[in-house]
Chains A and B, each alone.
Chain A
Amino acid sequence: MTPAAPDSTVAAPPALELADLEVAYRVRGIWRPVLRGVSFTIAAGESYGLVGESGCGKSTVAYAVLRYLARNGRISGGSVKVAGEDLAGMGDAQVREMRASKVSMVYQNPGGALNPTIRIGDQVAEVFVIAGINPKLARERATEMLTKVQISDPESVMRRYAHQLSGGMQQRVVIAMALAKDPELLILDEPTTGLDATVEAEVLDLVSLLREEFHTSVLFISHNLEVIVKMCDRVGVLYAGRLVEEGRADDVFNDPRHPYSVGLLRCLPSGGVRKDKQRLDTIPGFLPQLGAELPACVYVDRCGLAQEICSKEEPSFHDAGAGRHSRCHFWEQAHELPRATPASAAFNPVDQSAQPVIRAESLRKTFRQEGHAIRAVDDVNFVLRPGETLGLVGESGSGKTTLARTLLGLTSPDEGSIIELDGRPLEKAITNRGRDDVRALQIVFQNPDSALNRRFSVRRILNRALEKLRGDSGREREEHLRELAHSVRFDTRLIHSRPAQLSGGLKQRVAIARAFAGEPRVVVCDEPTSALDVSVQAAILNLLAELQADKGVTYLFISHDLGVVRYLSDRIAVLYLGRLMELGDAETVFSAPHHPYTEALLSSVPQADGEARERIRLQGEIPSHANPPSGCVFHTRCPRYIGDICHEQEPELKEVEPGHFWRCHYSVEELRELQKTAPPERPAGAPAPEDER
């Protein structure tokens, strides 16, 4: 990351200049302000990050810059200048010209950004054709462009359709198209949010690299502070449509000067914080409603530092030196913000000698698809002890969810698989399980919008669970309903609401309450916080930790966010292509030596703590389940590839230290030594990674 070199850019006008930008949306006949006086400047060649929780107006900024607001939106004040030209003075033709040549945008969902019926080559070439280049030359330029975004076989990719590419490849194509016209400004709106950590890391590296090559200015929008810090020179923190803090990315991250930025950073489970040490801090309250009348300071209602002056007098954008600005009366004391949630954590250590609640042995699940056998889960063995959390990590397609569904009885495992509950075999299909077995295993899904029936009230959802799982009725049910709502800190006054009337965090609390209705022994948490904002995520993680300490429940916790997994897990299982690659205590797995795949996963997490770390890139994509690589399934992408033994012989899952298992030909000592340094380039003679399925 090179900061904008001021000397070379003195002459060039700023790539983007927003002055007091106001945007309003008309909802039910009323104009509701969404952006309220947003001002910032992106110098030529600079990369600027915009961060904030959902509903803060981040994407609206992007659309306003492109003059592509939704039909019910309008710029109601202020000005937008792109490369020195004022948008307000532009006619439609000029706006089109600007979009065609000066500004590009990359959206969150690359699958939706590509036309499914046009071949990739034609789509990329189209950008050049529009710029007036003849079609034949345009195709050549398209090939060049795809090479630049590190697509290894551009000729073959150009002949394909969007659905034939993986998410990471699609996003590369979209970036290629965005940069094809050599824009002054590239807007990236959550470009890696839907991608796996390993793919995300690659895409981010690519963007950094291309930015240096093209000298493009970047507006990077993300809810993920770590990504922003990694990618941006400067950052603006947006809250309720107002810029509350601005400064160099490192400064804002290491020494935030606005209570909101402080709060956001404290919510993150980073730096190895664990549930047995402390609870995460949270941000109380909610974002103001769209277009609501705002108090003098937009953040006063949620701020632990607020005093009388805050609701009377609007804070100015205080200059905190070195390009720092904070819209807070008490910016100098921002770091003294009191915790909103006490740090003290109740915790019951896991009894390692206790009989396991769940024991899974030789767990296999094979799907049949067009004559192919797809082994989604292959020979997985593990135990869950009472009161512990087993974290399950791996890229998408590694079989995490299938494993969970198999355990729950929603999908039946293959013959020969053994699942035991409290030492006795469990029926494979849920329909054959008795009530006690059914209530013993429950799940919290990722997305509460889809997990809660939108037609039912909270009361009906929870009552049904109590009836079916506990056999409750009448007064007893009412009693349990109150207890249940209380245990997940759900306000009983909201019990008659439907899910759509609740915020994301409250909906997830209802989903958790439903899972706990039958006093389960084991709860599977399938990415329970990945659809939530960080402050809400912190509250939910705290709740899960508290429920565990209180009820002694066991969690199987699935997440792609390693910080979250680390916070909650006692032990961690790493899955790749349906196989267990590593299993051990959380801290053992997180500290070297680890399995080479775990090593790669860990190093792809953007580090916000400023600690520079050698990154390990996983090359290529996850191989096809239908045709897994020979020998060790990871050998095609392994950064520590040894030699022929890796593709000839599949390593056993062996106990390398007490309680620490991995599936690798290397021994602990060898990897401990090797992992002191980053791996070299892929060893010569290693088979080329498969780029596509």
Chain B
Amino acid sequence: MTTGGAIDRTSRADAVAALAGHLVGALGEGVPTRLADFLDSCADGVAGLWAVRLVGADAFAPHLLAGRPLEGRDAAVVSDAFEAFPPVQQPVTHQQCVLAHRDQATAELLVRLTDGRCAPPGTVEVWENREASAHLGTSPVDALLGPAEQWARWSVAVAQLSPLALPGLDGPVFEAVAGAPLALARGTTRAVLRRDYATAARLVRWVALLADRVPLDAALLVEHLRLHAGADARLLLDLAIAERVLAAEPVSSRPALPAPTPPVPSAPTAVVHDVASRAMAWLHAHHELGAFTDTATADLDDPNSVYKPLCEVALASAFVLREGVAGAAQLRHARELLDFSWEQMRRGDLLYERQLRHALLTDPVETYASFARSGYRHAALERVAAHSSAADAVNEVVPNRRLAVANAHRVVGIPRDDDWDALTAATWLGREPEPWVIDWYTGYCATHTVFHLTDWGARPEGLPAGTARYLDAWLPVWIDVWTEARQWDLVGELLLVGACLPEPRIEAAEWAPFAAAQHEDGLVPRDGEPVSDDPRTRFLDHQHTAVVATAAGTLALSRLLAG
């Protein structure tokens, strides 16, 4: 109830929920829209008017989308709401500007639906009023939304203007959103991945309205949100409107991605070099912690405990030597780490014995590729590997790992008749799914698909054009989402993917948080959890991320220097 002049918070929430439910019913079940009846049903009439003001133009969604007539009493309710809660006459703040744009949309529809007989009092013509933000030197809409290139911030503002995502509400807001379909798609994908379903539902209304040009499957997206929406009435109203919009103008297939427009690499060379050299120095300083504690044989109890980290250190070191852009200290570290790892592998004998004993295992050749690339060869291992390959002795692995096997053989020089196109098509990335269906684990699958197709960035042309275009569109979203979640290991891999692209993506804004996460001693934490003080635990927990940081920084530096 309204007490002492102010509306009780519960009354407001109840009224908004009731109104949203009323409108959903009118959209979906043919229930007549009666704003006046809704207001009469409110225990607190002022709260009811407040709710009408809040939903704004959405109050007319049943009239626009379901053909319901707007009766005079209902039009009067909207006018009353504007009288009770007057429009801002000189919008300055962001909130005031959002309200002013929403008010103008409401006013336009009220005039249109009543054939000019009714107009809310006091609305400001923000769409035409250039003085509203003349001090900013830009149009009111541009000032409100900001540049579409900053799609994360831009899309939040677009979500706040979701009541304008109704058919026929043309104007500068519609034009601005319609002119940036990729920014809208990225912002929507980001909201879904953040599981911010309220924002996602607001954005999906724009996606539905622009379904012929936004490179997302709008119907799938709406259904996804409905499955996760819960019972929030306003969210359900957004989805009901989106469904009605889609039903009115169905789109048969997902629009194509726009032509790639990757930004000019902007990360300073000093930043990426610093990340890589300090990560490698940290690996070098602690590498003895990654040694076998006993005599390893071909039959490893736990390949992940020592063997895998040694392989990864070799990979990072081979990266540094291959690219040849590191300073003298980093080159020395790389060579010494390769020597160390090679000795741990008993100068290749361990790999040879493992391949000989377990012909179908793929890790010996995959590991050996890093050494072979750097000049560490083992003739007997190559003979066994060639024999295994000729017999097609490869165990069943997930599709992106099958690419790893193909690339390792390519690097070592062992012939295979791999169908790269077919192998790529079988991967998650190769299928180019909706970008919001990715999860943490699949993120790694996607990064590795790129690594193997491009031979860890040495052959950017190995990435199919469609895959490159797909990554150009969605990589920024995934980096943003997992940066916010401080998943530095995955972020590092995604940054490495950016450096592997034919048109490399090496953005200063994306590298800065990753570089900032690096500790003074060069450790790069795998995530935002506390880092142990125990030296061995520190090394084992974060060794992989140091490898990723070394590789990503090295390749990024190489691509930056290559221009």
Chain A partners chain B: no
Task: Using CB atoms and an 8 Å cutoff, list the residues of chain B in contact with chain A.
Answer: none
